[in-house]
Amino acid sequence: MGFDPEFDKPSFDQVMIAQGRAAHLGQALIHADAGLSPTKWQASTHPPALRDRIKVIFDGVDTEVMKPDAAASVTLPNGQVIRAGDEVLTFVNRNLEPYRGYHSFMRALPAILADRPQAQVVIVGGDDVSYGRAPAKGQTWKEIFLNEVRDRIDLNRVHFMGKVPYPTFVALMQVSRVHAYLTYPFVLSWSMLEAMSAGCLVIGSRTPPVQELIEDGVNGRLVDFFDVEGWAKLVTKALARPERFNDLRRAARDTIVQNYDLKTVCLPRMVDWVESFGPTPDRGLIGA
């Protein structure tokens, strides 16, 4: 709320709308025995009086599926095949919209493509709106920001995939040299964790949800959400000298395997948490 003044300037109405939308969550939690949140940042957005009853356990990443694969390849819409080791920049959202930084990413592309003449940019995401407000009638955020830079980029090297099947997404993360991920202070995309699990170099926005997972220079890199020039410079550097970032790629995967793996970490924690609420004298099992 009020994070990106280009689209939504802070106002009293915004505050009231946000409080109204959150009211049912607070009411539900008051009547619940406990709550579950996938990330610490999400849990922190609840009213202080309710935070103690919220347990943080992530849904989990299948690290046996999302893992590096030197033999991975993806066929693009124009028939071109990209492979692990190629100069590939990826950007993935459910839908292409400002909440996920699509505008900042597109505005950085002219400088990136000019400096890296062999780079291929692969963009995954639909034309609808998942979060935030919709654009003017008859328009899509995808076209609005593509049109803004259209005359300054080589469209033969920018590939819009739309929404893809999960196996294609997996392979795309395995061939990606650099994965750009941006988000407002909002729910974190699971795709970012999956990209890390696949051994991607993730360059993320310096916003709280991302900072919970990525420490700049340790297991990824961070750039201010609105710093278009900064995005262009860092992405260009990472595309040009991938070997300099191998330690970060390994650390990214280690972060997910050690702390967010579905089978060894998250599912056991969730089972333990659920079973801790066993039957009590005033709350028996259903059907007992």
- Residue 195 pLDDT > 80, yes or no? yes
- Residue 285 pLDDT > 70, yes or no? no
288: confidence class by pLDDT, cuts 50, 70, 90: very low
Which tokens go with 262? 């579905």
Average pLDDT in the 230-258 region? 98
Alpha carbon of 268 to those of 38, 197, 233, 253, 254: distances in Å? 14, 19, 42, 20, 19
79 in the same domain as 56: no
Mean pLDDT estimate for the chain: 94
**Any domain includes 282:** no
109 in the same domain as 32: no
Please give the residue that has the higher pLDDT: either 131 or 250. Answer: 250
121 in the same domain as 43: no
Average pLDDT in the 166-180 region? 98
Alpha-carbon distance of 70 to 199, in angstroms, equals: 11
Indicate the number of domains in the chain. Answer: 2
35 in the same domain as 154: no
199 in the same domain as 95: yes
228 in the same domain as 126: yes
- Domain of residue 86, CATH code: 3.40.50.2000
pLDDT in tens, 33-87: 999 999 999 999 998 989 999 999 999 999 999 999 999 999 999 999 999 999 9
pLDDT in tens, 199-217: 999 999 999 999 999 999 9
Q: Quickly tell me which residue has 């994070």 as its tokens.
A: 3
144 in the same domain as 26: no
- Residue 279 pLDDT > 80, yes or no? no
The pTM of this model reads 0.93
145 in the same domain as 26: no
- Give the least confident one: 21-35, 83-97, 172-186: 21-35
For residue 283, what pLDDT is reported?
52
For residue 47, what pLDDT is reported?
87
Domain, as residue range, for 161? 73-259
Residue 181's SS3 state is: strand
141 in the same domain as 26: no
